[in-house]
A and B are shown apart, each in its own frame.
Chain A
Amino acid sequence: MATKIQEPISIPMTVSVPYRFAAGSYLTKCLIGLRDHGTLFAVECPKCKRVQLPPRIVCATCHVRNERWVELGLEGTLVAFTIMYLPLTDPTTGKPHNPPFVYGTVRLDGATSVLDHFINVEPDLEKIRVGMRCRMILRPQAERIGDLSDILYFDPIPG
């Protein structure tokens, strides 16, 4: 009797794991400011003077404690961007972002760090450029929950 060659067996499986992360003392202070007052606070290193966002307890370069809090403005400069055409899953919600959409890396005025976020602009290369000025737009206060999603996106500043 002829034996049929079998396909190797492979078994599908889904693992879903819940987590709950502590923001810690420094980030909590920053997120409460964002939620309750619409402010954004970073910390400045006493030694190298780098203004670090998200605020963190120790400067990675100097290994000293960051103690001075600095309020940042909500405007900054786009240092890099992309137009995303893939339906990327938002790992924090499990839902896809709707492509195409623009996101980029913004350096807020006065900060040495950068922040990645959505840029509220059409996915058109004529309308986006590195060096473009932009302003952070927050959710209305009643809807803010104290995480990074309180920032909706950056709006380009005309000019």
Chain B
Amino acid sequence: MKRNVAIIGGGQTFHAARRHDVDQAEMVNEAVRAALNDARMTMDEIDLVILGNMEFFEGTHMTDCWLVHGTGAYGKQGLKITTGGTVGATAVVTAAHHVASGLFPRVLCIGFEKQEEGDTGAILSGVAHPLWGRSLAGAAVGYFAMMGSSYMAAWGATEEHSAMVAVKARQNARKNKYAHLKLDIGIEDVLNSRMLSWPIRMLDMCPASNGACAMILADEKTAKARCKKPVWIRAMDTAHNEQFELDWRDVKTTRPIFSRTCAKRIYRKLGVQKPSEYFDVFEVYEPATWSELVWYEDLGLCAPGEGFRLIEKGVTEIGGAIPVNPSGGVLSTNCIGASAMLRVWEAALQIRGDAGEHQVPKDVRRALTTAYGGTNWTVMTALSRTLDD
């Protein structure tokens, strides 16, 4: 990038199914205060505020206006982001672009969702074409179920493989004090959980969480002067899919779908030859177990059709050669507008060595994060510990 951008602080709420103790502004403010404390900054030092959530998931529009006391944005420049599951990552990328422009040295970005206050499934149906297919668009679970059936038919994986992903996520979440679903479960528990939409069972899906995440991004001068452990944003990329043309449900497709297109471009920007060696940790956006297996393949961590072998061999465990989602991921915490930002913030914590109990036991210099949402698109962000990495 022409001007370097660093993450100089961040914070998150404790994520939970129920947060009736706070309203939306109060919940967002918890994350904002945590981020300011972490960066040792006051709101007066922030030049611009980016707020992200999904319009109407909690029945509200223009949250940038009426949460303004909670976000700290009153009287400041800023804008609102709404891009589906990618919201949090789009907010980070938008903040980074503003810093990189040279016009805004210190930018606060925030992602939140208070899922319990609305009907996410009902509002999600609005992403489907109103006249072509909305009748079946009641829940994301059906989409991921079709992805699973296609994946098993194509590569010979079984329901045990997706169960392994479910177990890894919840066992990792037990080490993350902020995570929502901290479950001491095994493969049998997953296979015995309630069938929602074959082959997706209850424990194959993410929960509906309430929570927020906030990060402060700064230019190189501020980062070096104010932060002991800045984490540098080295590359960002976004790619969309085309509606009605196959996506993750046809795992054998040779068309350049969003996930592979985006990975290819971000690797080219960084000169990455072998992503599994270049990056020390990955935080991917996996609303369902099957999507994590497909991320392994689309990110080039293994060959197509071999993702389920990685989980089988334990390669992507916290202590494995290619740690993926040591935080417990979206499968353990899904406060949608915050979920994609949490991927970036958790990756930053890994690079700082501040992830606590879920810190991966190796030297973490570089990390890659993905987002997923809308009608199949992604935002990827690559981070590093130093500008030489």
| Interface, chain A (partner B; CB < 8 A) | 7-8, 10, 13, 15, 19, 21, 23, 27, 31, 50, 52-54, 60-61, 79-86, 88-93, 97, 103-105, 107, 112-118, 125, 129-131, 147-149
Asked whether, in the complex, the Cβ of B197 is within 8 Å of the Cβ of A82, the reply is yes
Asked whether, in the complex, the Cβ of B197 is within 8 Å of the Cβ of A53, the reply is no
Asked whether, in the complex, the Cβ of A82 is within 8 Å of the Cβ of B198, the reply is yes
Contact of A148 (CB < 8 Å), options: B125, B133, B198 = B133
Asked whether, in the complex, the Cβ of B195 is within 8 Å of the Cβ of A79, the reply is no
Chain A hits for B149, CB < 8 A: 80-82, 130
A112 to B138, CA, bound (A): 25
Asked whether, in the complex, the Cβ of A130 is within 8 Å of the Cβ of B197, the reply is no
Chain B residues 149 to 197 lying within 8 A of chain A, measured CB to CB, are: 149-150, 153-154, 194-197
- Is B245 interfacial (CB-CB < 8 Å)? yes
Enumerate the 9 nearest inter-chain pairs by beta-carbon distance, A residue then B residue, closest first.
Answer: A82-B145, A130-B153, A91-B125, A80-B146, A88-B138, A80-B150, A83-B198, A80-B249, A21-B130
Distance (Å) between the CB of B282 and the closest chain A CB? 26
Asked whether, in the complex, the Cβ of A10 is within 8 Å of the Cβ of B246, the reply is no
Distance (Å) between the CB of A99 and the closest chain B CB? 9
Asked whether, in the complex, the Cβ of A149 is within 8 Å of the Cβ of B197, the reply is no
A83 to B149, CA, bound (A): 10
Asked whether, in the complex, the Cβ of A52 is within 8 Å of the Cβ of B244, the reply is yes
- Is B59 interfacial (CB-CB < 8 Å)? yes
A80 to B198, CA, bound (A): 11
Asked whether, in the complex, the Cβ of A92 is within 8 Å of the Cβ of B134, the reply is yes
Asked whether, in the complex, the Cβ of B20 is within 8 Å of the Cβ of A79, the reply is no
A147 to B242, CA, bound (A): 22
**Extra contacts besides A113-B245, A130-B153 (14): CB < 8 Å:** A27-B132, A54-B131, A54-B244, A61-B242, A82-B145, A82-B197, A85-B197, A86-B196, A90-B136, A91-B126, A91-B138, A105-B246, A112-B245, A149-B135
Q: Nearest chain-A residue to B253 (Cβ)?
A: A79
A89 to B145, CA, bound (A): 17
A84 to B152, CA, bound (A): 17
Asked whether, in the complex, the Cβ of B197 is within 8 Å of the Cβ of A129, the reply is no
A105 to B250, CA, bound (A): 10
Chain B hits for A107, CB < 8 A: 246
Distance (Å) between the CB of A47 and the closest chain B CB? 15
Count of residues in B whose CB is under 8 Å from the partner chain? 43
Distance (Å) between the CB of A78 and the closest chain B CB? 9
Chain B residues 63 to 86 lying within 8 A of chain A, measured CB to CB, are: none
Distance (Å) between the CB of A80 and the closest chain B CB? 4
Chain B hits for A89, CB < 8 A: 121-122, 138
- Is B39 interfacial (CB-CB < 8 Å)? no
Chain B residues 18 to 33 lying within 8 A of chain A, measured CB to CB, are: 20-21
- Is B142 interfacial (CB-CB < 8 Å)? yes
Chain A hits for B138, CB < 8 A: 88-91, 97
- Is B129 interfacial (CB-CB < 8 Å)? yes
Question: Contacts A54-B244, A80-B250, A113-B245; is A105 near B146 (CB within 8 Å)?
Answer: yes
Q: Mark B16-51, 1 if CB is under 8 A from A, else 0.
A: 000011000000000000000000000000000000
- Is B137 interfacial (CB-CB < 8 Å)? yes
Asked whether, in the complex, the Cβ of A130 is within 8 Å of the Cβ of B150, the reply is yes
Chain A hits for B216, CB < 8 A: none
A97 to B134, CA, bound (A): 13
Asked whether, in the complex, the Cβ of A92 is within 8 Å of the Cβ of B135, the reply is yes
Asked whether, in the complex, the Cβ of B122 is within 8 Å of the Cβ of A91, the reply is yes
Asked whether, in the complex, the Cβ of B249 is within 8 Å of the Cβ of A79, the reply is yes
Q: Nearest chain-A residue to B199 (Cβ)?
A: A82
Contact of B132 (CB < 8 Å), options: A88, A112, A148 = A148
Asked whether, in the complex, the Cβ of B131 is within 8 Å of the Cβ of A23, the reply is yes
A-B contact pairs, 28 of them (CB 8 A): A21-B131, A23-B131, A79-B150, A79-B246, A79-B249, A79-B250, A81-B146, A82-B197, A82-B198, A82-B199, A84-B197, A88-B142, A90-B138, A91-B122, A91-B137, A92-B135, A103-B142, A105-B250, A107-B246, A113-B244, A113-B245, A114-B246, A115-B244, A117-B136, A130-B149, A131-B153, A147-B131, A148-B135
- Is B147 interfacial (CB-CB < 8 Å)? yes
Distance (Å) between the CB of B293 and the closest chain A CB? 15
A149 to B20, CA, bound (A): 40
The CB with the most chain B CB atoms within 10 A, among A19, A90, A117, is that of: A90
Chain B hits for A130, CB < 8 A: 149-150, 153-154
A19 to B131, CA, bound (A): 12
Asked whether, in the complex, the Cβ of B195 is within 8 Å of the Cβ of A85, the reply is yes
Asked whether, in the complex, the Cβ of A53 is within 8 Å of the Cβ of B244, the reply is yes
A54 to B242, CA, bound (A): 12
Distance (Å) between the CB of A111 and the closest chain B CB? 9
Asked whether, in the complex, the Cβ of A86 is within 8 Å of the Cβ of B139, the reply is yes
Chain B hits for A10, CB < 8 A: 20, 117
Asked whether, in the complex, the Cβ of A60 is within 8 Å of the Cβ of B242, the reply is yes
Asked whether, in the complex, the Cβ of B139 is within 8 Å of the Cβ of A148, the reply is no
Chain B hits for A8, CB < 8 A: 20-21
Q: Nearest chain-B residue to A24 (Cβ)?
A: B131
